[in-house]
Amino acid sequence: MQNFLLIASTLILLCSFGYTLFRLGSGRLRLGRTNLAALVAAFVLLTADLWLRGQVLRSCPINSLFDVVIFMAWSTTLIYLLVGSAYRLSLLGAFTTPLVLLLLLTGEFAPLDRSPSIRALRDPWIEFHASLSLIAYGAFALAGLAGVMYLIQDRQLKKRKGGTLLYNLPPITDLGIANTRLIWLGLGLLTIAFAAGFVSGMQVNTIKFWTSATIWLAYALMIVLRQVHTLAPRRTATLSVAALAFILITLPAIQHLSAPK
């Protein structure tokens, strides 16, 4: 049943992504409802999958790298559904879909650990810390995607080169605002997650601590520099994309260091 849910969500997003490419090639890209419907369906299926695995594990299903990758796909979709329409970023769904699809394909086909041992419930503060951290990373993922959209539009405007994609992108000022606000959202969630970890008194590997602290400091620095108008929107977008890449690269190491010994 769980494999069916993951496969079904992957196929839905794959079809949506293929349709996006087709519409882009045909010069008709308006896909707000199509992408939204696909992401809603995938979110429902992923939620059901997480719930079923949580019942088996008797804990939040983030006990292996496979779990973390699937949870990251779910949290990215969640943040988009919550804030995408609020920031008038319907086309962001066309950028969110391939990222979530990549995470799902990685979880399903990469040689990741899928079978952690079933264990009793952990400290709820630790559960809260771990799950909220991944939801924060979902917000950072959306910030990175908004940054990609900003950079694409900025490049096309500088070259004075129009096109289907440019004409369907939100105003570049809106993208800059959304990028900053998504960083604010992710930073707030990650701060609360760190506070929960502190309350739990959990023991943290030194490398994991400094890796997580580096991520927090990087985003906090972006926010501070934006507030004092030292960091331009284009540079903020570039740094948010780079920070997302850093998260995706270091996530396996963080999960490995978090595994029970």
**Whole-number pLDDT of residue 116:** 57
Mean pLDDT on 127-149: 92
CA–CA distances in Å: residue 222 to residues 35, 188, 227: 30, 13, 9
Quick check: 261 and 203 in contact, CB under 8 A? no
Residue predicted with more confidence, 6 or 259: 6
Q: What is the pLDDT of residues 198-214, one digit of tens each?
A: 888 777 778 888 888 99
Q: What angle do CA 149, 155, 157 make, to 5 degrees?
A: 100
CA–CA distances in Å: residue 44 to residues 9, 18, 29, 62, 155: 9, 21, 25, 18, 36
- In whole angstroms, what is the distance from residue 239 CA to residue 245 CA? 10
- Tokens representing 134 are 């991944």
Residue 105 sits in which domain range?
A: 2-258
Percent of the chain with pLDDT over 70: 82
Mean pLDDT on 94-105: 89
Quick check: 99 and 156 in contact, CB under 8 A? no
- pTM for the structure as a whole: 0.86
**Whole-number pLDDT of residue 25:** 65
How many domains does the chain fold into?
1
Q: Is the pLDDT of residue 88 over 80?
A: no
**Whole-number pLDDT of residue 127:** 86
Q: What is the pLDDT of residues 35-87, one digit of tens each?
A: 788 899 999 999 999 999 888 877 888 888 888 899 999 999 999 988 876 65
Q: Is the pLDDT of residue 260 over 60?
A: no
Question: Of 113, 135, 111, whose CA–CA distance to 258 is shortest?
Answer: 113
Confidence of residue 115 (pLDDT cuts 50, 70, 90): low
For the chain, the average pLDDT equals 83
Confidence of residue 117 (pLDDT cuts 50, 70, 90): very low
Mean pLDDT on 119-147: 85
Q: Is the pLDDT of residue 242 over 60?
A: yes
Q: What angle do CA 54, 41, 251 make, to 5 degrees?
A: 50
**Whole-number pLDDT of residue 177:** 87
Q: Is the pLDDT of residue 157 over 70?
A: yes
Q: How many residues does the chain have?
A: 261
SS3 253: helix
Confidence of residue 216 (pLDDT cuts 50, 70, 90): very high
Classify residue 162 as left (phi > 0), alpha (psi -120 to 50) or beta: beta
Q: Is the pLDDT of residue 120 over 50?
A: no
Q: What is the pLDDT of residues 160-207, one digit of tens each?
A: 665 555 556 667 888 888 899 999 999 999 999 999 988 887 777 788
Residue predicted with more confidence, 36 or 226: 226
- The rounded Cα 228 to chain-centroid distance in angstroms is 27
